[in-house]
Amino acid sequence: MRAAMLRLFGAKLGRNVRVRRTAKIEIPWNLNIGDDVSIGDEAILYSLGMITIGHRSFLSQYAHLCAGTHDHTSPLYPLIREPITIGEDCWIAADAFVGPGVTIADRTVLGARASAFSDLPSDVIAVGNPAKPVKPRVFSRET
């Protein structure tokens, strides 16, 4: 039901997208979400700029994607709408933050409460504030 409502407001959603009822979404027409994506409880998709989420990625509860900021070098603080890209097979864990203009490459995990202010490469687990890769993401078996 939630996916159908988002589509009515211009979101581009793939098949089998699950959005928990408590997720908060700003400007849905700036969303492009792939197949088999799950958006958890109380997640925030602040899509002032475009937010793209690749196939089979997960945003856990309280994850926050913020695709907007202000230019602090101007006394007028004009709005900047920078896109966020989350690759395929990624996991943005509980209470993690992804800032404007950030790309999280395929198969990367952003750990719980981590904050990504710059791009993260593929196939890593990144933690901390600011988030840094701490080890490669290695799969125990193929499914």
Name which of 14-28, 59-73, 82-96, 128-142 the model is least confident about.
128-142
Domain that holds residue 59: 2-96+110-136
Within a domain: 105? no
Distant-in-sequence, close-in-space partners of 8: CB < 8 Å, separation ≥ 6: none
The domain total for the chain is: 1
Instruction: Compute the radius of gyration of the chain from its Cα atoms.
Output: 15
Within a domain: 142? no
Rounded-to-integer distance, Cα 49 and Cα 122, Å: 23
Give the tens place of pLDDT for each residue, 96-105: 999 999 999 9
Within a domain: 69? yes
Q: What is the pLDDT of residue 51?
A: 98
Within a domain: 143? no
Within a domain: 104? no
The CATH number of the domain holding residue 55 is 2.160.10.10
Within a domain: 141? no
Q: What percent of the residues of the chain are helix, what percent strand, and what percent coil, each to the nearest 5?
A: 5, 35, 60
CB-based contact 98:65 (threshold 8 Å): yes
Rounded-to-integer distance, Cα 124 and Cα 119, Å: 12
Model confidence, pTM: 0.95
Give the tens place of pLDDT for each residue, 67-80: 999 999 999 999 99
Q: What is the pLDDT of residue 143?
A: 59
3-state secondary structure of 136: strand
Give the tens place of pLDDT for each residue, 106-128: 999 999 999 999 999 999 999 99
Q: Is pLDDT above 90 for 1?
A: no
